[in-house]
Amino acid sequence: MTWAKAVRQRCPVRPECLHSAQFHASNDGVWGGLDVHERRELRRGRAGSAEQGAG
C-alpha cells in the first residue's frame, strides 16, 4: 500500500481522483493518494467542521 500511495502522490490528477473517491464513497484502494482510512478521517473532519459551523 505504501508503494501505491507514493506513486499516486506524484499523479497530476490526484485532487480530481480524491474528489471522485469522496463523492462516490469508495471503500477500498488508494484514491487521490489516500487509503480508505485516511479518506474516512478526511470525511469526518469535514463533517465535524460543518457541524461546528452550523451552530
Q: What is the pLDDT of residue 51?
A: 41
- pLDDT score for 47: 57
Predicted confidence (pLDDT) per residue in 18-51, tens digit: 888 888 888 888 888 888 898 889 888 875 554 4
Burial of 42 (0-12, 13-18, 19+ CB in 10 A): middle
Structural domain for 16, as ranges: 2-54
Compute the distance between CA of residue 50 and CA of residue 55 in angstroms, rounded to an integer.
Answer: 9
> How many domains does one find in the chain?
1
Q: Which of the four pLDDT bands, split at 50, 70 and 90, describes residue 55?
A: very low
